[in-house]
Structure 1
Amino acid sequence: MSVHLNGYILVPQDRLNDIRAALVDHIRLTRQEPGCISFNVDENPDIPGRFDVAEEFTDADSFAAHQTRVKASDWGRISAGIERDYTITGLD
């Protein structure tokens, strides 16, 4: 069963430029990961600072590997402390 993560991050105004710049590489690297089926992060046109996140990985192991990589990445450092609201399904 594949793992799905859906939700959003809320980026403070003073961090938007850094997040937008780092996001390009974060998306590229994630889409290259083994087990990544889809990975999208889109700036919400109606809610300032909100980025909608939708990702799918083939299984729990590939999702866990993604989480580990992200924590040690530039994206992990640049996005640290930003509010996240995610729902994850398929881990059980």
Structure 2
Amino acid sequence: MSKVILKGYIIVPHDDLNAVEQALPSHTQLTLEEEGCLIFQVTKHDSDPNRFDVYEEFVDRAAFNAHQARVKNSHWGGVTLNVARYYEICEE
């Protein structure tokens, strides 16, 4: 089993920024409670208010895929529909 790491950032359109910021604490908590989640961090960038840096670690591909499936149909998935995602995913 290989650990799955996702790192990168998202760019949130100005019109969606408030909704994303309000949904982020719940999304973070729910993700950290998922089986197999080791680390989940989404941090607002210092100099770009529309950019959030993302770092995630899951114990294996199955846990990562379960997270992706949950998020797809979650409140977070809805409020981030217009978000541009720039991710790198690797396995260690």
Tell me which interval the TM-score lies in, with the shorter structure as reference length.
Answer: over 0.9
Letter of the 1:78 counterpart:
V
Q: Helix, strand or coil: the match of 1:20?
A: helix
Count of residue correspondences: 91
Work out whether 1:11 is the aligned partner of 2:15.
Answer: no
11-20 or 28-37, which deviates more: 11-20
Q: Helix, strand or coil: the match of 1:47?
A: coil
Deviation, structure 1 residue 81? 2.2
d(CA) in 1 for partners of 2:45, 2:8: 11
Equivalent residues in 2 for 1:41-80, closer than 5 Å: 41-80=42-81
Identity across aligned pairs (percent)? 46
Contact 2:7 2:55 in 1 (8 A): yes
Letter of the 2:89 counterpart:
I
Q: CA RMSD for the aligned pairs? A: 1.0
Q: Please report the TM-score for the alignment, with normalisation by the length of structure 1.
A: 0.95
Work out whether 1:28 is the aligned partner of 2:29.
Answer: yes
d(CA) in 2 for partners of 1:25, 1:77: 13
Note the residue ranges of structure 1 that are not aligned, 5 or more in a row: none
Q: Please report the TM-score for the alignment, with normalisation by the length of structure 2.
A: 0.95
Which deviations, in whole Å up to 9, do the C-alpha atoms of 1:3-55 show, x marking residues without a partner?
00000000111211100000110000000000000000000011220000000
Q: Which residue of 1 aligns with 2:84?
A: 83
Runs of 4+ in structure 1 deviating by more than 2 angstroms, as ranges, are none
Contact 2:7 2:87 in 1 (8 A): yes
